[in-house]
Each structure stands twice: as C-alpha cells, then as structure tokens.
Amino acid sequence: MKIVFNEIEEAVLPQFQGGEKEFKTRMFADQYNKIQRGRLEPGASIGMHTHDTSSEIIYILEGNGTVLFDEGRESVKAGECHYCPKGHAHSLINSGDKELVFFAVVPQQ
C-alpha cells in the first residue's frame, strides 16, 4: 500500500498536546498505525504526552529541534531518529530557525 502524503489534506492542530503554536500534519491512520508527515514552524512544539497504548518513532527530515523525554533532553536534526517506547513521555520542540519536518509512526500496541 502506498501513502501519498501530498494527496492527504493537511490538518492544523493549535497547541497540540499543550504545545506552542501549531502542529501541521498529513496523516494516514487505521486500526494498527498512525503514519504521518508533520511540520513545526520555529518556536512551535508538540506538548509533553505519555504513550500509554503505543510507542512512537520520529525521523527528522528537515531542520532541527529538541526532544524532552521522561526526565531527559536531547537535540535532533535531519537524518536522526527519536524513539519513545510505550509507557514513556516525550515532547518535540522546533528550537531551530527553520521549519522542522518529520516522519512519524505510532503503532497501536
């Protein structure tokens, strides 16, 4: 099955999970997975949230940012991947000066 993100309507989610500004996403979802290409403008973020029933894999396509996770913090940039295991919490922040573009998979477990 091929997913063509440019053919999926972009959703604009203000203050997603308590974050700052807007999270823009083109998402495919079924009963097994959420697969998305997301965008955060400089200063925008996805707020801290816990993955109670899923994990999440975030691959950075463009830009750079900061991930807060459980009690830690790490920087991420294009070509790097962040993994949040089931039962853990994280947040993604565009701390750069250009748009942060990423690909994410959230498998339902």
Give the side-chain half-sphere CA count within 13 A for 105: 9
Structure tokens belonging to residue 84: 């949040």
Q: Cα dihedral angle (23, 29, 32, 35), rounded to 10 degrees?
A: -50
Radius of gyration of the chain (CA): 13
Per-10-residue mean pLDDT of the chain, 109 residues long, equals: 97 98 98 97 98 97 97 96 98 98 95
Q: What are phi and psi of 30, to 5 degrees?
A: -135, -165
Full-model pTM: 0.95
What pLDDT, on the 0 to 100 scale, is given for residue 71? 87
Domains, the chain = 10-35+43-107 (2.60.120.10)
